Amino acid sequence: MKKLALVDPEAASLVEAELYRQNKNLELIASENFVSEAILEAQGSILTNKYAEGYPGNRYHGGCEQIDKIEDLAIKRACDLFGAEHANVQPHSGVNANLAAYMALLKPGETILGMLLQHGGHLSHGSKASITGNYYKGIFYGVSPDTEMIDYDEVEEIAKKHRPQLIVAGGSAYPRTIDFARFREIADLVGAFFLVDMAHIAGLIAAGIHPTPIPYADVVTSTTTKTMRGARGGFILSKKERAKAIDKAVFPGTQGGPILQNVLAKAVTFRLASTNTFREYQAQVKTNAAFLADRLQEKGLRLVAGGTDNHLMLVDLRPIGLTGKEGEEILESVGITVNKNLIPFDPNPPAVTSGIRIGTAAITSRGMKEREIEEISDIIFGSLTKDPSLKRDIFRKKVYDLCQEFPLYLDPFEFACI
Ligand code: DSN
């Protein structure tokens, strides 16, 4: 940041302040993580100077010799890591990856059967609030009111009734394992394509800790952030037969030139994700999530779907008389960052909600394990009350001390990612 501080001290001081915030707070937002310094370096590299519309060997700009090698490297590493036949590493984000995949598979106005946003799905799976629900017709499945898990028989019933052209699995707040094989059977029954958006669980899948969707899905979309702990951006995996349509739908269909510094950072992300260190890290993410879920339940908090199989959990705050918004604000006041989140059958609107979503990917990157999780569960449970006599500064100090013990970005070679 030395150059930035010289050229634009105001901007540099905001980055410094954000680094301080990241360092001194416990990050429990399930979609966030701390990337290695290698990723930061790649994303800040001189590749930002280049335009390269098109694909390796077939560009609309000159001077792409090195760029082609970099994109080929990212593609090969993505295919090797996930066992896919084709990868497109150009989508600027997960939503862009989904948009391009829909464009490759569907005609405007055709029907997408996705998971209800309120039950753990994602805006880009056909919600009316997103272009995906306006350009295509979104219909939805949810979770069972009894188990709060996906009811596959209900998915089958809805699919048979509405005959969608595409079924989407995956989401942003579903704590249980997804049965991709069953989804494939349902898609085959009604002649639909099957797409898996694995953005949240991609790291677990890369490490072999969550079943892979690759043998079952026509197309798999993802980001390289979240559990992947890498570049800001998206990617699409598919069988060879869909490669041409997917590539055309990304460029020129929905994007212009790729963000090449991020393509480079994606290549680095896939390399890091193929190491034993990464597999151990993912195992600890899952262990930490299960441990935290158990501790919170032992203390009496209600978890949606009874717990977690992955990196995230949803806590229903209604039994302790709080809304999700209040829970998020209270935890923020003691230095814990989470997000308010709708829970299945939530009576509150999205700006209020009845739940909070908690994930363990970021704190595990800092090196925290069961001992720290035990303390974090005490802090969360102890803070979550409206009682004005509560001494929040005591919890704030505990969070601060924990963060001091696991500093961020002080020594690139010590930081747990390499
Ligand atoms: N949907 C956002 C989240 O999970 O936080 C990002 O994909």
Beta bridge partners of 178: none
Q: How far apart are CA 270 and CA 231, in angstroms?
A: 10
138 ligand 1 Cβ < 6 A: no
- For ligand 1, the distance from its centroid to the CA atom of residue 100, given in whole angstroms, is 18
What are the structural domains of the chain? 40-272 (3.40.640.10), 276-415 (3.90.1150.10)
Give the atom of ligand 1 at the shortest distance from the alpha carbon of 223: 7
**Residue 412 banded pLDDT, cuts 50, 70, 90:** very low
94 ligand 1 Cβ < 6 A: yes
- For ligand 1, the distance from its centroid to the CA atom of residue 172, given in whole angstroms, is 6
Residues 42-58 have pLDDT tens digits of 999 999 999 999 999 99
Q: How far apart are CA 134 and CA 297, in angstroms?
A: 40
- 205-223: average pLDDT: 98
Residues 264-311 have pLDDT tens digits of 999 999 999 999 999 999 999 999 999 999 999 999 999 999 999 999
175 ligand 1 Cβ < 6 A: no
Q: What is the residue with the minimal CA distance to atom 5 of ligand 1? A: 31
- Mean model confidence pLDDT for the chain: 96
What's the whole-model pTM score? 0.96
According to DSSP, the β-strands at 302-303 and 312-316 are antiparallel
Q: How far apart are CA 26 and CA 334, in angstroms?
A: 9
Q: How far apart are CA 205 and CA 411, in angstroms?
A: 29
Give the atom of ligand 1 at the shortest distance from the alpha carbon of 122: 1
- For ligand 1, the distance from its centroid to the CA atom of residue 94, given in whole angstroms, is 9
pLDDT at 389: 84
Taking the CA atoms of residue 23, residue 172, residue 75 and residue 53 in that order, the dihedral angle to the nearest 10 degrees is: -90
122 ligand 1 Cβ < 6 A: yes
Burial tier of 109 (Cβ tally within 10 Å: 0-12, 13-18, 19+): exposed
pLDDT at 313: 98
pLDDT at 418: 37
Judge whether residue 323 has pLDDT over 70.
Answer: yes
Residue 79 C-alpha from the chain's centroid = 19
What is the 3-class SS of the chain, one letter each residue?
CHHHHHHCHHHHHHHHHHHHHHHHCEECCCCCCCCCHHHHHHHCCHHHHCCCCEECCEECCCCCHHHHHHHHHHHHHHHHHHCCCEEECCCCCHHHHHHHHHHHHCCCCCEEEEECHHHCCCHHHCCCCCHHHHHCEEEEECECCCCCCECHHHHHHHHHHHCCCEEEECCCCCCCCCCHHHHHHHHHHHCCEEEEECCCCHHHHHCCCCCCCCCCCCEEEEECCHHHCCCCCEEEEECHHHHHHHHHHHHHHHCCCCCHHHHHHHHHHHHHCCCHHHHHHHHHHHHHHHHHHHHHHHCCCEEHHHCCCCCEEEEECHHHCCCHHHHHHHHHHCCEECEEECCCCCCCCCCCCCEEEEECHHHHHCCCCHHHHHHHHHHHHHHCCCCCCCCHHHHHHHHHHHHHHCCCCCCCCCCCCC
pLDDT at 387: 86
pLDDT at 201: 98
According to DSSP, the β-strands at 111-115 and 137-141 are parallel
pLDDT at 391: 87
Q: What is the residue with the minimal CA distance to atom 3 of ligand 1? A: 31
Residues 342-360 have pLDDT tens digits of 999 999 999 999 999 999 9
Residues 236-260 have pLDDT tens digits of 999 999 999 999 999 999 999 999 9
- 206-213: average pLDDT: 98
Using most ligand atoms within 8 A of CB, pick from 172, 228, 313, 337 the residue to mutate for ligand 1. 172
Judge whether residue 226 has pLDDT over 60.
Answer: yes
> Which residues are identified as catalytic?
51, 53, 197, 223, 226, 232
Using most ligand atoms within 8 A of CB, pick from 28, 29, 31 the residue to mutate for ligand 1. 31
Q: What percent of the chain has pLDDT over 70?
A: 98
Give the atom of ligand 1 at the shortest distance from the alpha carbon of 173: 4
pLDDT at 413: 42
Judge whether residue 411 has pLDDT over 60.
Answer: no
Give the atom of ligand 1 at the shortest distance from the alpha carbon of 200: 4
Q: What is the residue with the minimal CA distance to atom 4 of ligand 1? A: 172
Question: Which amino acid does the sequence have at 371?
Answer: R
Using most ligand atoms within 8 A of CB, pick from 96, 122, 223, 341 the residue to mutate for ligand 1. 122
Measured CA angle at 49 (ends 46, 51), to 5 deg: 130
- For ligand 1, the distance from its centroid to the CA atom of residue 405, given in whole angstroms, is 28
Judge whether residue 9 has pLDDT over 60.
Answer: yes
Q: How far apart are CA 364 and CA 383, in angstroms?
A: 22
- For ligand 1, the distance from its centroid to the CA atom of residue 96, given in whole angstroms, is 13
Judge whether residue 415 has pLDDT over 80.
Answer: no
- 31-46: average pLDDT: 97
pLDDT at 298: 98
- For ligand 1, the distance from its centroid to the CA atom of residue 55, given in whole angstroms, is 28
pLDDT at 274: 98
Judge whether residue 376 has pLDDT over 90.
Answer: yes
- For ligand 1, the distance from its centroid to the CA atom of residue 205, given in whole angstroms, is 18
172 ligand 1 Cβ < 6 A: yes
**Residue 88 banded pLDDT, cuts 50, 70, 90:** very high
Beta bridge partners of 238: 86, 219
Q: What is the residue with the minimal CA distance to atom 1 of ligand 1? A: 172
